[in-house]
Amino acid sequence: MSLCAVKPDEAGAGDSFPVAENLCTIVSNDWVNEEYRLLIVDAPAIALAAKAGQFFHLMCPPDGESGNFLRRPMSIHRIDREQGQLHFLYKVQGSGTRGLATLGQGDTLDALGPVGQGFTLPRGTQHVVMIGRGVGLATLAPLAQEAVAAGAKVTAILSARMASLLMAEDALRSDGAEVVIVTDDVGNSDTTSLEALLRRVHADRPIDFVATCGSKRLTRLLQDFSTEFGIAGQVALEQRMGCALGMCFACVMPFRNTAADGTRTVGYRRVCWDGPVFNLEETVL
Ligand SMILES: Cc1cc2nc3c(=O)[nH]c(=O)nc-3n(C[C@H](O)[C@H](O)[C@H](O)COP(=O)(O)OP(=O)(O)OC[C@H]3O[C@@H](n4cnc5c(N)ncnc54)[C@H](O)[C@@H]3O)c2cc1C
Ligand code: FES
């Protein structure tokens, strides 16, 4: 059973889309490395209509004695419409994600969504470069799927503390992305090395869209790079959330607004409802 709601039209808030309380059956929920688990669920059609960058607000079972009253936001890692499945890649951090880790095959996951504004790939994009770190890699993978399907080349730069913590590499390669790995222990994940890498990639084949998630440092780097070369770009932001439906304002953050006459002001927007994906130039870190 799913309870369906429709996002009302709001000036400037994007298109309407259906949001449902989806009762999904767990297919598997296994460790992929020492910190992250991959959760695969059978999902109904409304959930499978999700777009890259949108997320679900997950009801997490209790972790031992303590219940989890609030849902926890989780990006979609993969939408497998053929199998009718959604994949979530999550880091086990606190009470909510520890509760999520207790779910096993055949259990039910209550997933509210899909929620939010996802990535918007400009028409005619030829070369997408995405840089993700940590769990940011989970969020970017569906964008690679969409970009390759739209005929664009995708270069995915995956950053992690060490190679054993990298995720999504195989999925990205099998989706047709060129994968470049940088790690702290090898010493090529600092911003100076990454900026040099971006310049080389751009010189080799001009980049016309950049995307990132999971790191303020990487977001700043891409803001500077995209401004210098006039490249469009977006970032998927993370913020603590309450309702995830635009009603409680727990998730507001400041953003730069530019008026028609070029005047710049700062205003607050809801990460859950107006995002979580925002244009790089609007994002205040
Ligand atoms: C739109 C969105 C998409 C997300 N997608 C993913 C994903 O695909 N995979 C994934 O592992 N995590 C994702 N997150 C973060 C995830 O929601 C939090 O890790 C989770 O809510 C933590 O809950 P918890 O009860 O386990 O930990 P808590 O006990 O609540 O917190 C444990 C630690 O996690 C930090 N934390 C909690 N919530 C957030 C948050 N929203 N953003 C950043 N840090 C947080 C806390 O500061 C604390 O250090 C996403 C967050 C948002 C807003
Ligand atoms: S979490 Fe309630 S408005 Fe965003």
How many CB atoms are located within 10 Å of the residue 118 CB? 26
Give the C-alpha separation, 79 to 138, whole Å: 12
Mean pLDDT for the chain overall: 90
Specify the 3-state DSSP secondary structure of 281: helix
Give the C-alpha separation, 39 to 58, whole Å: 12
CA 248 to chain centre: 22
CA 232 to chain centre: 17
Question: Nearest C-alpha to atom 36 of ligand 1 is from which residue?
Answer: 240
250 lines ligand 2 (CB under 6 A): yes
160 lines ligand 2 (CB under 6 A): no
Mean pLDDT score, 188-198? 95
13 lines ligand 2 (CB under 6 A): no
pLDDT at position 16? 55
Does residue 214 carry a pLDDT above 90?
Answer: no
Does residue 14 carry a pLDDT above 60?
Answer: no
Candidate from 77, 91, 93 with most ligand 1 atoms within 8 A of CB, to mutate: 93
249 lines ligand 2 (CB under 6 A): yes
pLDDT at position 110? 96
Phi-psi region of 84 (alpha: psi -120 to 50; beta: other; left: phi over 0): left
Please give the helix or strand (H or E) that residue 24 lies within, else none: strand 18-31
| DSSP labels, 171-234 | HHHHTT-EEEEEETTTT--SHHHHHHHHHHHHHHS---EEEEES-HHHHHHHHHHHHHHT-EEE
79 lines ligand 2 (CB under 6 A): no
Does residue 11 carry a pLDDT above 50?
Answer: no
87 CB burial (10 A radius; 0-12, 13-18, 19+): buried
Q: Which residue has the higher pLDDT, 127 or 162?
A: 127
Q: How confident is the model at residue 7 (pLDDT cuts 50, 70, 90)?
A: very low
pLDDT at position 58? 97
Residue list for the binding site for FAD: 72-75, 96-97
Instruction: Catalogue all structural domains in the chain, each as residue range(s) with its CATH number.
Output: 3-115 (2.40.30.10), 127-282 (3.40.50.80)
